Amino acid sequence: MHHRILGWLLLTLSCAPAMAATMANDAHRECNARFDYSIETRGERVALSDDQHRYELYADRIDRDGREISLTAEQRRLARQYREQLEALVPKITDVALRGAMLGIESLAIVTAGLSGDEHRLSDLIARLEILTMKLRRELDGRHLPAGDAWFGGDLDHEIERLAVDAASGLVGSVAGLIAGAIFDPAGVEARSDYVERLVERRIEPRAEALGAQAEALCDQLTELDRLETRLGLFNAVQIDAQSI
């Protein structure tokens, strides 16, 4: 019994919102990717910026710092293909990152409230999560990607951290209470653990599997984008861990 309860603690803490930085597929294949340039898509223009340069990709040309770059016919073809693929990828990446981060926090909230038997706490955490998700969707509008891991602004980072800490601290207290309660009411604790397991299977696992499938498809597309970028030979925005390919 104690091992099962502690297992819940380790499982849910490992699900905390780290998916914005890492897009994981399955146990056999993992794609660790990041952008070293911030990305902005607007109309027919896709812009990539870092501390040194700003590239603007249009249907028929590329500007660097406001000046058109001379391109070969092959580079124009590659640039057009790159721009179209990147433009299609940005909203998909932001959606997977957002839903992955929120799913991690929701799993903490469900297990915390489920193990404690506190339905009011669960309702409160889920309500806060829904409000935070709406704010994040406004921030991640599907047209921008930040460079590196700087996904959210300072206020939103603080709000995410506070919600995760509240859920995690409640989980630790719930597990401690269950371990103590197992001595006096093992059947009750077992029933509560079964309830949490069913709740996770129903609410978390199907969405996590669907998210994993989407992330796997994104990994393939990011790998192709990285290859196009290498052939284009102008910038190196996409970074993929070579060991993950």
pLDDT tens readout for residues 176-234 = 455 455 555 566 556 666 767 777 788 888 888 888 888 888 888 999 999 999 999 99
* Residue 235 banded pLDDT, cuts 50, 70, 90: very high
How much is the pLDDT for 20? Answer: 36
How far is the C-alpha of 78 from the C-alpha of 231, rounded, in Å? 8
Region of poorest pLDDT, from 69-73, 171-175, 205-209: 171-175
Residue 169 has a pLDDT of: 62
With CA atoms as reference, report the closest residue to 237 among 97, 89, 23, 74: 89
Residue 32 pLDDT level (bands cut at 50, 70, 90): confident
The DSSP call for residue 15 is T
pLDDT digits (tens, 9 = 90+) for 136-156: 777 777 788 888 765 555 566
pLDDT of residue 232: 95
For range 156-167, the mean pLDDT: 69
Is the pTM higher than 0.75? no
Handedness of CA 124, 125, 130, 131 (dihedral sign): positive
Average pLDDT, rounded, for the chain? 74
Question: What residue type is assigned to position 163 of the chain?
Answer: L
Average pLDDT over residues 15-29: 37
What lies within 8 Å, CB to CB, of 6 at 6+ separation is 175
**For residue 82, what pLDDT is reported?**
96
* pLDDT recorded at residue 217: 86
Q: Give yes or no for residue 86 having a pLDDT over 80.
A: yes
Average pLDDT over residues 11-28: 38
Q: Are 71 and 60 in contact (CB under 8 A)?
A: no
Q: Regarding predicted confidence, which is higher, 159 or 14?
A: 159
Mean pLDDT of 119-127: 74
Instruction: Give whichever of 70-79, 114-123, 128-137 has the largest mean pLDDT.
Output: 70-79
pLDDT band, very low/low/confident/very high, at 26 (cuts 50, 70, 90): very low
Highest mean pLDDT among 40-44, 60-64, 99-103, 124-128: 60-64
- Helix boundaries (H) for the chain: 2-14, 73-116, 119-139, 154-184, 186-203, 205-232
